């Protein structure tokens, strides 16, 4: 039987092939696991660097117990501050250049996103009188801004994220840029307050510096349009972060935020929000505050329409599960959707 040696030789080669394949697969699995552990450690280190609990802070407004992001509906206040050397104010005494409020509904994995015009004339509890909302941070830091927003909408602010220009730039760059619509040609200030960012109108991919310039510009339209652009940019960042191609970029993002961002979210709490990205881009409804320009006191203020504020307040309260059900308002800039009736008190666990 002359075929036996050939068969033996063939079987031997096949076994060797299997062994090599198993070794390569095992090596790749070990490398992937090691890289995952590395990312987790790096992420935790970055978040630990960024963690800043507000000592003077008691329980958020309308809360009897601390929320758990893995189970509860929560709110996050995002503060964009200019703490550049040229301004010479320091992070805790800068005015907020951007102020965005997000509520997240754990049951539907949806987000309500509101941009608050920085010249909005509101009551600031820290000083006991009305002024521009972006002054609150200069008066009393992050806590004063939180208390002002809680007072304005009668909702709890469960978490805050305060970042400077460099953090924003690094996040966008780590994602490989974002796609955004530039409404008109503009020559805008960069992160160092130098007019060096030159953009042309149209849909394009922007790097961090360009995205920051687009988020800041308002000279050719208004603070309201500026707020809408900021909402669109946040959506673009979320969309890119939710994409498969961005998964390998998370280590770069987390490395960037450590020294340029502060938050009272722990590493465990931050990881809980990944559930909103498990099925891709979450639904984000943009809300808009309406009002009118006022210079009657010699200073420019944006006077908010109280009826609109009440409507926005009700939508946010409902999305957080603080009221039985939401009412559909067409004047707030959000879509009318009866699906939000599910955000009831039973969705809260505290």
* Structural domains of the chain sorted by starting position, each given as residue range(s) with its CATH number in brackets: 51-347 (3.40.630.190)
Q: Residue 99 in contact with residue 145, Cβ under 8 Å?
A: yes
Per DSSP, the three-state class of 56 is: coil
> CA 121, CA 264: separation in Å to the nearest integer?
27
> CA 320, CA 154: separation in Å to the nearest integer?
12
Distances (CA, A) of 338 to 269, 288, 312, 319: 30, 19, 16, 12
> CA 289, CA 224: separation in Å to the nearest integer?
8
> What's the token pair of residue 62?
């309308």
Q: Residue 104 in contact with residue 320, Cβ under 8 Å?
A: no
Residue 14's pLDDT is what?
A: 67
**The whole model's pTM is what?**
0.77
Residue 24's pLDDT is what?
A: 67
Residue 220's pLDDT is what?
A: 83
Q: What is the mean pLDDT of each run of 10 residues along the chain (350 residues)?
A: 58 68 62 54 74 84 86 93 59 79 92 94 96 94 95 96 88 89 89 86 94 87 87 87 61 67 86 75 90 93 96 96 60 39 33
């Amino acid at each position: 039987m002359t075929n036996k040696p050939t068969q033996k030789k063939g079987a031997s080669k096949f076994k060797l092939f299997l062994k090599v394949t198993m070794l390569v697969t095992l090596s790749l699995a070990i490398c992937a696991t090691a890289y995952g552990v590395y990312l987790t450690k790096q992420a935790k280190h970055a978040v630990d660097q960024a963690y800043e609990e507000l000592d003077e802070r008691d329980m958020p407004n309308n809360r009897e117990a601390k929320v758990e992001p893995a189970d509860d509906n929560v709110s996050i206040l995002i503060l964009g501050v200019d703490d550049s050397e040229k301004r010479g104010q320091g992070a805790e005494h800068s005015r907020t250049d951007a102020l965005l409020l997000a509520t997240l509904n754990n049951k539907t994995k949806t987000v309500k996103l509101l941009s608050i015009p920085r010249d909005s004339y509101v009551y600031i509890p820290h000083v006991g009188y009305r002024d521009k909302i972006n002054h609150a941070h200069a008066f009393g830091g992050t806590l004063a801004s939180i208390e002002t927003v809680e007072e304005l909408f009668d909702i709890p602010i469960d978490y805050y994220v305060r970042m400077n220009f460099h953090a924003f730039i690094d996040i966008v760059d780590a994602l490989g840029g974002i796609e955004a619509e530039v409404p008109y040609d503009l020559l805008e200030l960069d992160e160092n307050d130098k007019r060096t960012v030159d953009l042309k109108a149209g849909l394009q991919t922007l790097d961090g510096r360009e995205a920051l310039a687009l988020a800041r510009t308002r000279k050719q339209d208004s603070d309201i349009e500026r707020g809408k652009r900021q909402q669109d940019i946040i959506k673009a960042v979320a969309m890119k972060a939710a994409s498969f191609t961005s998964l390998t970029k998370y280590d770069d993002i987390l490395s960037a935020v450590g020294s340029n961002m502060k938050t009272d979210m722990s590493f465990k709490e931050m990881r809980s929000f990944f559930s909103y990205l498990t099925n891709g881009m979450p639904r984000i409804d943009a809300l808009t505050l309406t009002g009118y320009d006022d210079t009657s006191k010699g200073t420019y203020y944006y006077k908010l329409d109280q009826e609109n504020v009440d409507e926005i307040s009700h939508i946010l309260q409902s999305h957080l599960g603080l009221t039985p059900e939401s009412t559909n308002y067409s004047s707030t800039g959000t879509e009318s959707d009866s699906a939000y009736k599910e955000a009831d008190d039973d969705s809260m666990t505290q």
